């Protein structure tokens, strides 16, 4: 009995003393006091020093894209540090190119705020917020794609541009021990500010897609950060050429809905291809827009039609279909693409051949 | 106490009883950070520094607290706590007051909190019944030995960067083979001194 007591006392007092030492050190040595953070030369914040730049920004409700949650393994959280921030660290070297280093680009999850700091971030990131959505509805639109309707709590709103994306914070679940952010394009129109719609495709062993497809239920809560991205509808008069496969329809649908609501009558062709007829989705809504918008043309194609599809439309992938139908002055066209890197590269090649200048081709690659 | 001069232990820890090449301890960071000479040298310095001080600290904790209370069997958990707390404290201090040092080795400190070479040295010190000076020599020597091994390794890895290594062996695979060859080479030193 005595032995047990001595053991417990000894271990507790050793740990206690060390814990006391460490917490004193944390209060004194690691306490950097208040620092000044200036963003884009205009907004000024007083922040607690000592934390990483990413944490400091999040505490001030500025959300930088980050997929790994500050472990220095995704390289998304780049920020230009104009002044302060200390020396460039070896842990950043894998993600920041030498050219970027010269411009002062840092990984905000590695660089610490230990002195007054001046940084520059894209203006639209000020608009980024963290939202707690409620899952209103989950529809299965094809075998592999779920259509999510998310509602914001009352009184909250989200402002975004058609084409932008949000990130879902995937919680831990059985089989996944870390929280990760994954990006999905918004499919709903920006005019609806109280909720968003997303298309989420199933990828075997994908952390977030597995969560959405197997664990998420209606009425659950879902944490979303956004909006992000510079892929968005451009206010010009050019003819629009849009192309998407699978869930890549989301940002395009958002753009079409936006155009429908604002009665924008630009000439616009939307190319969408899928494997079989069963993989085409949202058709009723799209066909309604086609009949009501005089200048919108839809070009669906199937890559692997089976006899049951009963398909007499176009077959083949988007590049072939575009090659067949696109003509006119390429200089006066602009293109919006959303799909896998292979699809984007193949389509871009065709568009360039048709004379559309590279800077008028906008795309969102999923990787 | 066994009568071995501390200097003998010091050299033995570097050459004949090298932590990596004869005990295969501390392999994780050894394999992960041995691709460049400069960073591996910094990591080696950090290991040497932490080894020296944790060995001393653990010597006192063991002989002043654990032995009088008859709690020698608690040494594993106590050593681990002491090492972790010490590394944490050192990181805070150099992060605050020694910026250049922080950039050179501070960022490696979290990596070596759980380096088994460091726990290994403290445990060997107890098993072999070293006195204070022998322990100190053993700690410093092991650190230098570890540094020597990782820097040599990094040198070799830089040399073979362009070599046509079979795909399956790239990275850690070939590194393990090289460590094996280095360990064989270090057997050549074994005639100089022996401490076991």
**What is the model's pLDDT at position B107?**
65
Per-residue pLDDT at B105: 67
Is B93 part of the contact surface with chain A (CB cutoff 8 Å)?
yes
What's the gap in Å between the CA of A366 and the closest CA on chain B? 29
Q: For residue A77, what pLDDT is reported?
A: 85
What is the least distance, in Å, from the CA of B106 to any CA of chain A? 11
The pLDDT > 90 percentage for chain B reads 36
Task: Tell me the chain B residues in contact with residue A6 when contact means C-beta distances shorter than 8 Å.
Answer: 69-71
Residues A65/A70/A74/A77 CA torsion (nearest 10 deg):
40
**Helix H or strand E encompassing A145:** strand A145-151
- Residue among A14, A29, A112 whose CB faces B92 most closely: A29
Chain A residues lying within 8 Å of B29, measured CB to CB: none
> Is B107's Cβ below 8 Å from some Cβ in A?
yes
The larger pLDDT score, comparing residue A269 to residue A309, is at: A269
List all residues 6 or more positions away from A115 whose beta carbon is below 8 Å from its beta carbon: A35, A49, A84, A85, A86
User: Hey, where are the domains in chain B?
Assistant: 6-189
In this predicted model, what pLDDT tens digit does every residue of B21-32 receive, in sequence order? 888 888 888 887
pLDDT confidence bin for A236, thresholds 50/70/90: confident
* Predicted TM-score of the model (pTM): 0.59
Nearest CA in chain B to A32: B96
Average pLDDT of chain A to the nearest whole number: 86
B194 beta partners:
none
CA distance B147 to chain A (A): 19
Q: Which residue of B has its CA nearest to A15?
A: B81
Tell me the three state secondary structure of residue A272.
strand
Percent above pLDDT 90 for chain A: 9
Based on its alpha-carbon atoms, the radius of gyration of chain B, rounded to whole angstroms, reads 17
pLDDT at residue A344 tops 60: yes
Whether residue A218 is predicted with pLDDT greater than 70 in this model: the reply is: yes
- In this structure, what token pair is assigned to residue A366? 């999923």
d(CA A68, CA A165): 17
Nearest chain A residue (CA) to B58: A14
Residue with tokens 């989950």: A138
In whole angstroms, give the CA distance from residue A355 to residue B34. 51
Burial of B129 (0-12, 13-18, 19+ CB in 10 A): exposed
Asked if B136 and B51 count as a contact pair (C-beta separation under 8 A), the reply is: no
Output the DSSP codes for A168-186.
EEE--BTTB-S-EEEEEEB
From the list B70, B74, B88, the residue facing A11 with the nearest CB is B74
| Distance (Å, whole) CA B58 – CA B41 | 25
B7 touches chain A (CB under 8 A): no
Contact yes or no for A89 and B93 at CB 8 A: no
In the predicted structure, residue A199 carries a pLDDT above the cut 80: yes
Determine the average pLDDT of the residues in A298-302: 89
Ordered by where they begin, the domains of chain A are 34-125 (3.10.20.30), 128-228 (2.40.30.10), 239-365 (3.40.50.80)
Band the pLDDT of B114: cuts 50, 70, 90. confident
Work out the average pLDDT over A148-171: 86
Question: How big is the A-B interface in CB pairs under 8 Å?
Answer: 52
Query: How close A343 comes to chain B (CA, Å)?
Result: 30
Instruction: Give contacts of A 54-93 with B, CB under 8 A.
Output: 86-87, 89-91
DSSP state of B65: I
The interface predicted TM-score (ipTM) is: 0.77
* B2: pLDDT strictly greater than 80: no
DSSP string across B71-133: -GGGHHHHHHHHHHHHHHHHHHHHHHH-HHHHHHHGGGHHHHTT-HHHHHHHHHHHHTT--HH
Mean per-residue pLDDT, B74-78: 90
Residue B1 above 60 pLDDT?
no
Residue A14 sits at the chain B interface (C-beta within 8 Å) = yes
Chain B residues within an 8 Å CB radius of A19? 85
Question: What residues in A contact B39, CB-CB < 8 Å?
Answer: 90
Phi, psi (rounded to 5 degrees) for B117: -60, -35
Q: Which residues of B touch A32 (CB under 8 A)?
A: 96
Per-residue model confidence (pLDDT) at position A201 = 87
């Amino acid at each position: 009995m005595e032995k047990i007591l001595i053991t417990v006392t000894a271990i507790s007092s050793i740990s206690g003393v060390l814990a006391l030492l460490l917490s004193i050190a944390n209060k004194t040595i690691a306490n950097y006091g208040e620092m000044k953070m200036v963003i884009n030369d205009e907004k000024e914040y007083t922040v607690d020093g000592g934390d990483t730049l990413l944490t400091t920004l999040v505490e001030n409700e500025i959300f930088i894209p980050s997929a790994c949650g500050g472990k220095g393994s995704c390289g998304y959280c780049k920020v230009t540090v104009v002044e302060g921030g200390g020396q460039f660290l070896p842990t950043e070297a894998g993600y920041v190119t030498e050219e970027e280093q010269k411009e002062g680009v840092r990984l905000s999850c590695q660089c610490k705020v230990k002195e007054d700091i001046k940084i520059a971030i894209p203006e639209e990131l000020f608009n980024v917020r963290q939202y707690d959505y409620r899952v209103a509805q989950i529809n299965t639109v094809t075998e592999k794609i779920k259509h999510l309707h998310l509602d914001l709590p009352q009184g909250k709103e989200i402002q975004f541009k058609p084409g932008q994306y949000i990130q879902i914070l995937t919680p831990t679940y059985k089989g996944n021990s870390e929280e990760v952010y994954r990006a999905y394009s918004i499919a709903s129109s920006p005019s609806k500010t109280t909720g968003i719609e997303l298309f989420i495709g199933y990828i075997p062993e994908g952390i977030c897609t597995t969560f959405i497809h197997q664990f998420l239920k209606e009425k659950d809560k879902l944490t979303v950060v956004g909006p992000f991205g510079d892929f968005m509808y451009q206010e010009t008069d050019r003819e629009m050429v849009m192309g998407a496969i699978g869930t890549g329809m989301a940002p395009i649908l958002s753009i079409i809905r936006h155009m429908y609501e604002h009665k924008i009558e630009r000439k616009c062709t939307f190319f969408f291809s899928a494997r079989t007829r069963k993989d085409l989705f949202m058709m009723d809504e799209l066909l309604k827009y086609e009949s009501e918008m005089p200048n919108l043309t839809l070009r669906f194609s199937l890559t692997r039609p089976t006899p049951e599809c009963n398909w007499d439309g176009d077959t083949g992938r988007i590049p072939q279909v575009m090659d067949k139908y696109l003509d006119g002055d390429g200089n006066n066209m602009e293109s919006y693409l959303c799909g896998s890197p292979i699809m984007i590269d193949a389509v871009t090649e065709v568009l360039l051949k048709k004379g559309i200048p590279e800077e008028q081709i906008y795309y969102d690659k999923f990787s | 106490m066994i009568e071995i001069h501390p200097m003998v232990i010091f050299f033995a820890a570097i050459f004949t009883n090298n932590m990596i090449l004869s005990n295969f301890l501390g392999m994780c960071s050894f394999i992960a950070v041995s691709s460049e000479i400069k960073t591996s040298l910094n990591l080696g310095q950090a290991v040497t520094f932490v080894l020296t001080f944790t060995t001393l600290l653990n010597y006192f904790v063991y002989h002043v607290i654990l032995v009088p209370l008859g709690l020698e069997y608690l040494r594993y958990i106590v050593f681990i706590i002491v090492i972790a707390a010490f590394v944490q404290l050192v990181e805070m201090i150099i992060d605050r007051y020694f910026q250049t040092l922080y950039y050179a080795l501070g960022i490696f400190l979290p990596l070596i909190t759980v380096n088994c070479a460091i726990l290994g040295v403290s445990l060997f010190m107890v098993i072999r019944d070293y006195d204070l000076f022998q322990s100190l020599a053993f700690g410093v020597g092991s650190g230098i030995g570890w540094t020597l091994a990782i820097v040599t390794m990094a040198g070799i890895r830089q040399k073979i960067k362009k070599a046509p290594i079979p795909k399956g062996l790239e990275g850690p695979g070939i590194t393990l083979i090289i460590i094996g060859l280095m360990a064989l080479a270090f057997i050549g030193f074994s005639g100089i001194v022996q401490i076991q």
